[in-house]
Structure 1
């Protein structure tokens, strides 16, 4: 039997956040694969979901503290963007997703993100070589890219997985 890692997200938080976050993350992943862009409105929406939903499902002290996660990750992501390690949309997505992650879960999420990026990269490159798959969406910009990778794909998947862990552990 597979034992899932325990996270600081409660079952209530998991359900409340996933209702809004999962569809948005799926859109971000799809749009980044399609156009190699994460629209600003989607990262703004992700931040707004935390602001609006978080106040109802988190203790206020923890909720308020999580805003510091946004600013710390934003500075780090801006530096990564400045040196060309990631795009601006990726940076904004990471910063907007940061408040959803409890500090004590940061190492787990970073490990999931590293693994997700590796698996996502391999999946994308393999799928791009399968003509039946590639022909389903022949106009995706990400098929044409050889140096850049649509990070919205694994980042969205990791946020969904992290928030879903309390639900999955109930199965």
Structure 2
């Protein structure tokens, strides 16, 4: 089974801005168990500023609808306790980047990044050298998982997939 990869133009336009935001989100969520609203707003601002450069007008407009749909779904999921409000807001802010994408690739990335982030986080939690370097991280003692780590990885790997060889 072959996935349809995202457009290279999308990756070239967004990656320089998405990389630092995703590092910020992942670090903040592991250290404080919170995704800052400023990081969410920074990610959300990328779509109106850059989306029209990266994709055709119809997909750019659908990106706003996707943001709204994911925001509503995320808040409903937050209400029933599936994940945090920061996770819901960040997922909505990054959602437009996936507009027009291969749902199989997006689903596979979500599952893979979630499992990999969970495994890596739990492994690092038990490494004395890593724990000594990050003793004040709240995620080490929290019963909750810093989902921002997985979400940040998901959007980064999606954009990087644009550079994989086709066919």
**TM-score, with length taken from structure 2:** 0.93
3-state SS, counterpart of residue 146 of structure 2: coil
Task: Answer yes or no: is the 8 Å Cα contact 2:3–2:102 preserved in 1.
Answer: no
- Judge conservation of contact 2:22–2:153 (CA < 8 Å) in 1: yes
Residue in structure 2 matched with residue 34 of structure 1 by the alignment: 31
Is residue 162 of structure 1 aligned with residue 158 of structure 2?
yes
Aligned Cα root-mean-square deviation (Å): 1.6
* Larger deviation, residues 105-114 vs 25-34: 105-114
Gaps of 5+ in 2: none
Structure 1 residue corresponding to 2:4, chosen from 3, 6, 10: 6
Size of the alignment, in residue pairs?
A: 166
Q: Which residue does the alignment assign to 2:112?
A: 115
Secondary structure of 2:71's aligned partner: helix
TM-score (norm 1): 0.91
Deviation at 1:4, TM superposition (A): 7.7
Following the alignment from structure 2 to structure 1, what is the Cα–Cα distance between the partners of residues 41 and 28?
Answer: 15
**Where does structure 1 lack aligned partners over 5 or more consecutive residues?**
none
